[in-house]
Copies of this chain bind each other. A is one copy, B any other.
Amino acid sequence: MAKAWFLTSRPTGLPSADNFALRDLPDLPLGEDQLRVRNHWLSVDPYMRGRMNEGASYAPAYPLDTPLTGGAIGEVLESRIEGFAPGDLILHLGGWRDGGIITLDHMPRLLPVQWLDSGIKPQCFLHNMGLTGGTAWIGLLQVAAARPGDVVFVSAAAGAVGSAVVQLAKAREMTVIASAGGPEKGEWVRDLGADAVFDYKQGGVLDQLRGALTRLGKPGIDVYFDNVGGEHLDAALATANGFARFALCGMIDIYNGAAPQPLRYIGRAIAARIRMEGFIYSDLFSRYMEEFYADMGGLIASGAVQMRETVHDGLESAPTAFGGLFAGQNIGKMLVRL
């Protein structure tokens, strides 16, 4: 019998184990336009924290006492949807569970066989070839319109999105300044090719960003890829060159209700004519999907983009993996392997 995590109460601040319950799913016969699947990989992502709040955001709130949803890689066991057959590997939104029945609402898609054949692992479609890599690619290249020669600053650079930003920017001959928390993460980001890396836990963000610019002989930043908000966003405002572009992707600092930090340098948005733009992967992905797969698939195949995963094993570990996102416990993509 399949099991799934249910949201049983809405977190205030950081999510805790009390907010979730693992329950059996009913064992129903397969209806029309449904698939029965066994999941192999589940994704946990910061955006899910927003959906645990009451009230509409860009994605609807998760209802209480129903199975949670999210990205997953599964194998089709039984199909009543045309084009899907037992044994197919699919990407779908019926995550937070080990399997069971998924419907068209879970938007099942076959994993593209040509990329699997070229050696890209299935779970990669939950990160570099999917949500997080796509977010990095769209935000850096489309929203922020970063170009070769630009100085790019990226926060949470050891995270799934940030690490993809670093590598995409280096593959296009940009200068990259990255912020990450702690020596292990910093070392990995340096290995990915970042020109300067600092540890935001070791001092003020603005001072360290200015120091990095000085060492690189650059007057300021052209692009900021924001994964955290707060002090990092303010430091980016302070050091922006004229006509800088900021892609606002995530503000992990405030998902959990932390007090927002005053932006002392917001006035520079005018002085430096900064464009700041919030974006969401799902708005834009279908428009760029073919171009993204070709570009990112090629970069992964050539080794220019590496992947790293922080893996928790077993469905039971899903809330722990999810909570770890907000404690800075992941390097690269946080995944649950079943």
Contact = CB atoms under 8 A, between A and B. Distances in A.
B58 A273 contact: yes
Interface in A105-150: none
Contact of A279 (B250, B273, B277, B278): B273
Contact of A260 (B249, B255, B266, B273): B266
Nearest to A251: B267
Given A254-B266, A260-B262, A271 B229 contact: no
Given A251-B267, A259-B262, A274 B277 contact: yes
Contact of A274 (B50, B273, B274, B278): B278
Question: A57, A242, A276: which has the most chain B beta carbons within 10 Å?
Answer: A276
A87 to B, nearest CB: 38
A201 interface: no
Contact of A250 (B50, B242, B264, B270): B270
Interface in A267-304: 267-280, 283
Contacts of A268: 278
| Copies of this chain assembled into the complex | 2
Nearest to A233: B266
Interface string A203-236: 0000000000000000000000000010001000
A278 B273 contact: yes
A280 B273 contact: yes
Interface in A236-256: 242, 248-251, 254-255
A25 interface: no
Contact of A263 (B249, B260, B274): B260
A271 B278 CA distance: 7
A261 interface: yes
A277 to B, nearest CB: 4
Given A266-B251, A267-B251, A267-B254, A58 B272 contact: yes
A147 B83 CA distance: 44
A229 B278 contact: no
Interface in A19-70: 50, 57-58
Interface in A54-113: 57-58
Contacts of A263: 260, 262-263, 266
A250 B50 CA distance: 32
A273 B277 contact: yes
A273 B283 contact: yes
Task: Please provide the 10 A-B residue pairs with the shortest distance between their CB atoms, ordered closest to farther.
Answer: A270-B278, A269-B278, A275-B277, A57-B271, A58-B271, A276-B276, A262-B262, A260-B262, A254-B267, A251-B267
17 contacts: A50-B271, A57-B271, A58-B271, A229-B266, A251-B266, A251-B270, A260-B262, A260-B266, A260-B267, A262-B262, A263-B263, A269-B277, A270-B280, A273-B277, A273-B278, A276-B276, A276-B277
